[in-house]
A = this chain, B = another copy of it.
Amino acid sequence: MSLSLCYLFQGLSKLQLRRLSAITRETAIEKGQCLLNEGQKAEELHVLESGAVELMMRVEEGIEIPIAILRKAGDCVGASALVPPHVYSLSARCVKEGKSLCMKQADLQQLILEDRDLGCIIMTNLARNLLERLKETRQELKIHFRTLFRSMQS
């Protein structure tokens, strides 16, 4: 069981992890399979058990650039399923067959409504991760600004 390895679920009690397991189903993922598509309704959250998943960002029609490859048990895709308006912000494609633990958005929402402590822990973990990713993305922008400043100075 890799749920407790996922950053989203760190700090949950054993009972809370059991509640989460009750709405989780294990699914096989095949090489080439699209797990989720940027811009589509975020109906599922996947936690990787085995295999590998590539995250991609659409730059323009027909052009996608790779953002990251997830390979570790506990890595997850589809956290947008936890946040209104529930729309995927990236695409994810399986690049090595394996298994994922899959939770439906509606089941997660119901569980979070019923157990506010669980909800608070998951949402704090998510906010922390999003802030980290926001900082990283800003760092990439900074590199472009630095290049610009230097070309203006020279």
Contacts and interface: CB of A to CB of B under 8 A. Distances in A.
Contact of A135 (B89, B120, B138, B141): B89
A45 B131 CA distance: 15
A142 B80 contact: no
Give the size category of A's interface with B. Answer: 20 to 34
Interface of A: 57, 59-60, 63, 65, 80, 82-84, 89, 112, 116-117, 119-120, 123-124, 126-128, 130-131, 133-135, 137-138, 140-142, 144-146, 149
User: How many copies of this chain sit in the oligomeric assembly?
Assistant: 2
A59 to B, nearest CB: 5
Contacts of A83: 124, 127-128, 131
